[in-house]
Structure 1
């Protein structure tokens, strides 16, 4: 049976010894309490025995000082017992009573009678402080002692040493597919951890901290574990929220315990996942702010306190590097920031091969095609796709996971799960959704926003219909024409509804939200607005300058209206293809992307040069355009925007 973690190591030995000492002291007190403290006379002993059993015979009759003095003068007292705050009297005629003595003067009077040398009657001491056992004298203070002991034990448990993996994590750089740039940047860190004395001999100061940044699921945690194995160093993994506590001072003690443990286990890597949970220092307007500031200050002091050749490296990972305190990421603390990017085409193919080898997959899988269809996905998303493909195969009762299971899993990751038991839609709604999705697909294909995989009017996730458009290449740099084409693709569903039905529906709500984000980014951050403004709103916010965002909102709205008119004009030119794809969707519910391209190729008239001039390449992010089912469209609160009268009303609705 495995011992509890609290009883392991030297801490468990110390707690065991403390428990034995407490038990021994308790046994001593009980034995001392059981031993006789005095040897009273026979009469006094009999009275004490009766008092131990019950004091009711005496407490039933309360006497006063005059009665006591009368009994003293007449020698009517058979025996007496002095208590802590009362005197108990037994008379010669078998009467019993008690006299209160909070001040102790009555007891003094009786003792003066004995001082004269004459024993008037047997006198004993009963329940005085001197007669009480030690544990009874300490009993009133037991709640405070128990509270202090409990607080000490709780504090010790909260600040216990962190778990250390002394033989690496079992993961090497070869097990981490992709992130070649990050692995190359960590190579000199590996050399330092293997031989820190070599750096010290040359006078070189090795890095104290390395910050890994990147999107969620790109493999930052795996890189940290692989670095520990490659460096043959101990590994301590914590999170930024581990230092938070509702009790003051506990977080600071955790920071001290973390670095103390790392120094003992050097060479050692401290990996702090989600390090942005530590936060930033702020003005101490609340008590929680003061505690958070002290935790960050202690962390900074610890990083400055250990020697560069001590063999301790702090490795942090975050998705929000801007949320860290500037003093934490300065040179001398986190000396290096490494960006972990998305996997490329070859890396995605290798990831599919790796995860497919862990399931009962078919031997004829086209991993190259799967890699091409998953542009922009993280390693975590690819692992989910492989696992979901296995779940689909098990649900269908298949003996192995085939290619179509992987294709369905990719679509599920892109556009959501296909719901079951959906209420059938009316013919009018089906026609509107078909026109909406056909507009998305045709504009995406005509402007070459990406590769149109399929278009369907079957519900997927929260969408009533979906057009699946995937990028054709990995890109990090996007031209203004590409962003404009993407906005037109997002507006195409709404424009198609205007073209056919002369009014729009709530299905374009999500499309307008995505288009507005791009337009606001173009106007406020990229200098691509219609008025040619180059001012970045993020720089204004960072400078803490008050500004009115109304002009930027109006410029973004003007850009959206301009692109909406261009999109409507493009759909008018593509009207025959729009009719054909909409009819095919109503008849078959799903149309492949190849048929969308074929419908555009069959158009008789050449396209206008003004439309072809805005052709662009695919974006590197996943494109998802869908007719969303909004249950409560009135729940959105938009900022007031002053309407701008367009110069041209555009083509009329047909």
Structure 2
């Protein structure tokens, strides 16, 4: 049962009421202090005090010393005097007005002593602006800089520590608006039923889920799923990030955790979405004070999760790209009960995504969304949204009123291989020839080993690359054969081998190719059991077991694998040298060669290839691009932390 508006926001209403009362009191004091105080001028002393309260300028303009005061007292010229904490103000019978400094109070004591020794009243004496008659707030107002700093600090603390305000049923996104992630949406159905009617679960004695963890690559739509779930359940939605709980002050992070869950309970049914939940971290040894604070934040988070009642109507939804970074106690059963992987969109889903985002821009002519979907294998929904938006930017850059198919194609190439830079310095003829040979080697081997669809090869700069060979996968794949991975490594080494074949010397341009090939070879040897020596030991398991191991054996096995594939690649290029000559010459003449021409150049020599080919027909690895970039230096050292147990190899640029 939901609480009333006043009950849910009683603290905020109380704070607003208090501020109104304080402001009203301050305004009353301010306007009251502006009104002149009219004192009845019963005698000359009262009249002098009234004038002093209005302005002390007539006295402050004339400063005298002690001799003047003594002389006037002896001659009886003083009409009235006023003593303050730091000065003495004198008015004479002839209209003169002056003052004497008296910080120590000795002059005033002397004046009062002579005044008391006299038999009769010499002249009226009054007290002006002393500590005894000063308002209580005057001493406080003298410290206004400090008060201003304290007020600013208090305001900053209130803004930082205030509870997160829920977003009430207005996310504007439903499951129908989230294209793709069909498996994740299906897994969230029972969560939707629970948030719609938590009492039904409680009546059956069923314990509803307390937390759901969404995992997947960046840009797959985890945040959109969380917002859609809140709309489907008609629930409140609070969105924070894991780093929001961190603070340089002790105890602030714990307060934020308590405030978050208190706000969620007050607005039940409610979904608390914690994006990048791995930012909370995991507990460790308290060797430093910062570690102790992080441990307390995680402990408080665990305590709040355990404190949920079965019918509280609160669900914690976490999203992360690194589930292994979470504390094991956080993801155990009973806390985050379920882990849902948000996968990449399929071919049909990518086509729907292109249609969805293209509907938001002005298009003209026939746009082949099916072709765009086929050429965007492995891209996330966020990348597809970027492609459509970049196509509109390209149309605006060309002063076009509508977006056509060519704009989408150019935007897709920009997403794959980078922006085409402007103002690039002209390369020498020898550099152009070397880049053409390098890229022709990549393209020829990719086409011969069927590593994917060769879209184009160019020696025009793109992004950080001086030349690019664009190879896209033919189908969505999650499982890769050893032959496919070996073919990918040969394709990465093909540029370097082509340079060796033509110039009998390699350049630094193959540095990034070797980097990617070495990462893949280390994964094959240390994680996938595909080394040349047949070792099945996983270095990932050794690292998880916290065992000491000598990496030299794995490095030697990876190097042996690279050398073996390098020899096979060199032999393959020798067999395809006529095709390599043809594509290299065309690149020097035309700068860009379509992928169909590369396949046609390789086709006549396929029957004469060496018998030992490291790929099975019909299988293609997940490959994005092989690029030739600027001749920059690269650190040749590798870290074994790059060896990960994964079912999909890394992709990246080729020539650097």
TM-score range relative to shorter protein: 0.7 to 0.9
State whether structure 2 residue 405 is matched by structure 1 residue 403.
yes
2:495 corresponds to which of 481, 493, 496: 493
- TM-score where L is the length of structure 1: 0.84
The 8 Å contact of residues 240 and 276 in structure 1, kept in 2 or not, is answered as: yes
| Secondary structure class of the residue paired with 2:264 | helix
| More deviation, 322-331/177-186 | 322-331
Relative to structure 1, the CA distance from residue 40 to residue 87 in structure 2 (aligned partners, 3 Å threshold; closer, same or farther) is farther
Q: Distance in 2 between matches of 1:536 and 1:63?
A: 101
Relative to structure 1, the CA distance from residue 316 to residue 91 in structure 2 (aligned partners, 3 Å threshold; closer, same or farther) is same
- Number of the residue aligned with 1:445: 447
The 8 Å contact of residues 83 and 108 in structure 2, kept in 1 or not, is answered as: no
Q: Distance in 1 between matches of 2:341 and 2:297?
A: 26
1:583 corresponds to which of 582, 585, 589: 585
- Number of the residue aligned with 1:357: 359
Q: Distance in 2 between matches of 1:404 and 1:130?
A: 86
- Number of the residue aligned with 1:378: 380
Q: Distance in 1 between matches of 2:302 and 2:153?
A: 28
- Number of the residue aligned with 1:17: 21
- TM-score where L is the length of structure 2: 0.84
Q: Distance in 2 between matches of 1:417 and 1:105?
A: 84
| Secondary structure class of the residue paired with 2:272 | strand
Shift of 1:370: 2.1
Relative to structure 1, the CA distance from residue 433 to residue 12 in structure 2 (aligned partners, 3 Å threshold; closer, same or farther) is same
- Number of the residue aligned with 2:646: none
| Secondary structure class of the residue paired with 2:168 | coil
- Number of the residue aligned with 1:149: 151
Relative to structure 1, the CA distance from residue 90 to residue 17 in structure 2 (aligned partners, 3 Å threshold; closer, same or farther) is closer
Shift of 1:91: 9.3
Q: Distance in 2 between matches of 1:228 and 1:581?
A: 55
| More deviation, 112-121/347-356 | 112-121
Q: Distance in 2 between matches of 1:28 and 1:95?
A: 30
- Number of the residue aligned with 2:37: 34
1:239 corresponds to which of 238, 241, 245: 241
| Secondary structure class of the residue paired with 1:335 | strand
| Aligned 1:380-529 pairs, distance under 5 A | 380-396=382-398, 400-529=402-531
- Number of the residue aligned with 2:257: 255
Relative to structure 1, the CA distance from residue 366 to residue 141 in structure 2 (aligned partners, 3 Å threshold; closer, same or farther) is closer
Q: Distance in 1 between matches of 2:97 and 2:20?
A: 55
The 8 Å contact of residues 447 and 616 in structure 1, kept in 2 or not, is answered as: no
The 8 Å contact of residues 482 and 615 in structure 1, kept in 2 or not, is answered as: no
Q: Distance in 2 between matches of 1:174 and 1:96?
A: 87
Shift of 1:337: 1.4
Task: Provide, for residues 129-166 of structure 1, a one-character-per-residue CA deviation record: whole Å limited to 9, x for no partner.
Answer: 22223332433454444443333222222233434322
State whether structure 2 residue 164 is matched by structure 1 residue 162.
yes
- Number of the residue aligned with 1:629: 630
Task: Provide, for residues 569-620 of structure 1, a one-character-per-residue CA deviation record: whole Å limited to 9, x for no partner.
Answer: 1212222322233233334333333333333331285333322566672123
Relative to structure 1, the CA distance from residue 612 to residue 148 in structure 2 (aligned partners, 3 Å threshold; closer, same or farther) is closer
Shift of 1:637: 5.3
Relative to structure 1, the CA distance from residue 144 to residue 481 in structure 2 (aligned partners, 3 Å threshold; closer, same or farther) is same
The 8 Å contact of residues 445 and 491 in structure 2, kept in 1 or not, is answered as: yes
The 8 Å contact of residues 58 and 97 in structure 2, kept in 1 or not, is answered as: no
Q: Which runs of 5+ in 1 are unaligned?
A: 1-7, 642-654
| More deviation, 147-156/82-91 | 82-91
The 8 Å contact of residues 417 and 460 in structure 1, kept in 2 or not, is answered as: yes
Q: Distance in 2 between matches of 1:499 and 1:594?
A: 24
Task: Provide, for residues 17-71 of structure 1, a one-character-per-residue CA deviation record: whole Å limited to 9, x for no partner.
Answer: 321122224445666x9365x9885357548857944556996323799x79x97
Relative to structure 1, the CA distance from residue 283 to residue 21 in structure 2 (aligned partners, 3 Å threshold; closer, same or farther) is farther
- Number of the residue aligned with 2:570: 568
Relative to structure 1, the CA distance from residue 164 to residue 123 in structure 2 (aligned partners, 3 Å threshold; closer, same or farther) is same
| Aligned 1:542-621 pairs, distance under 5 A | 542-603=544-605, 606-611=608-613, 617-620=619-622
Relative to structure 1, the CA distance from residue 450 to residue 639 in structure 2 (aligned partners, 3 Å threshold; closer, same or farther) is closer
State whether structure 2 residue 199 is matched by structure 1 residue 175.
no
State whether structure 2 residue 211 is matched by structure 1 residue 209.
yes
| Secondary structure class of the residue paired with 2:499 | helix
Relative to structure 1, the CA distance from residue 47 to residue 20 in structure 2 (aligned partners, 3 Å threshold; closer, same or farther) is closer
Task: Provide, for residues 281-301 of structure 1, a one-character-per-residue CA deviation record: whole Å limited to 9, x for no partner.
Answer: 455565554544444343333
Task: Provide, for residues 251-306 of structure 1, a one-character-per-residue CA deviation record: whole Å limited to 9, x for no partner.
Answer: 44433333232222211112222222333345556555454444434333333333
- Number of the residue aligned with 1:62: 66
| Secondary structure class of the residue paired with 2:612 | helix
Aligned residues: 626
- Number of the residue aligned with 1:127: 129
| Secondary structure class of the residue paired with 2:315 | strand
- Number of the residue aligned with 1:185: 187
| More deviation, 122-131/242-251 | 242-251
State whether structure 2 residue 331 is matched by structure 1 residue 329.
yes
- Number of the residue aligned with 1:136: 138
Task: Provide, for residues 315-348 of structure 1, a one-character-per-residue CA deviation record: whole Å limited to 9, x for no partner.
Answer: 1212222233333323332221111010111111
Relative to structure 1, the CA distance from residue 218 to residue 104 in structure 2 (aligned partners, 3 Å threshold; closer, same or farther) is same
The 8 Å contact of residues 78 and 90 in structure 1, kept in 2 or not, is answered as: yes
Shift of 1:191: 0.4
| Secondary structure class of the residue paired with 2:339 | strand
| More deviation, 377-386/418-427 | 418-427
The 8 Å contact of residues 483 and 614 in structure 2, kept in 1 or not, is answered as: no
